[in-house]
Chain A
Amino acid sequence: VSELRFDELRGEQVVYAIHRQDRTFLPDREHCPLDPTKPGGPETEIPFPSFDIAVFDNRFPAFQAPGGAAEVVVYTDRHDGSFGGLGAAHAERLMWVWRHRYAELGARGDVDYVMIFENRGVEVGVTLHHPHGQIYGYPFLPPVPAAERAADERLGGCAPCELLRRELADGERLLIDGPDVVAYVPHAARWAYEAHVAMRAHRPSLLECEPRELRALAETLQSLARGYDALFERPFPYVMVVHQAPTAGEAGDAPPGAAERSGHLHVEFYPPLRTAEKLKFLAGSEQGAGTFISDTLPEETAVALRDAIARAS
Chain B
Amino acid sequence: MAREPAAPSTPGGGESAVGERFGPLAIERVAKADGRALILYSRAEPPGRAESLGRAEQAERSEREGREPR
Contact = CB atoms under 8 A, between A and B. Distances in A.
A, B assembled together: yes
A207 B57 CA distance: 23
Interface string A81-116: 000000111101100110110000000000000000
- Using C-beta atoms within 8 Å of the partner chain, give the interface range for chain A: 20 to 34
Contacts of B48: none
B38 A46 contact: yes
B41 A47 contact: no
Interface residues of B, number: 34
B39 A87 contact: no
Interface string B30-56: 101000111111110000000001101
Contact of A77 (B4, B27, B30, B70): B70
Contacts of A89: 43, 53-54, 56-57, 60
Given A47-B11, A50-B1, A88-B60, A55 B70 contact: no
Interface string B18-38: 000011110100101000111
A75 B31 CA distance: 20
A41 B70 CA distance: 11
B15 to A, nearest CB: 14
A292 interface: no
Given A96-B25, A100-B27, A55 B10 contact: no
A57 interface: yes
Interface of B: 1-7, 9-11, 22-25, 27, 30, 32, 36-43, 53-54, 56-57, 59-60, 63, 69-70
16 contacts: A37-B6, A37-B7, A39-B6, A47-B7, A49-B2, A51-B42, A53-B42, A54-B39, A55-B38, A55-B39, A57-B36, A87-B57, A88-B57, A92-B24, A100-B22, A100-B27
Interface of A: 36-41, 43, 45-57, 59, 77, 87-90, 92-93, 96-97, 99-100, 211
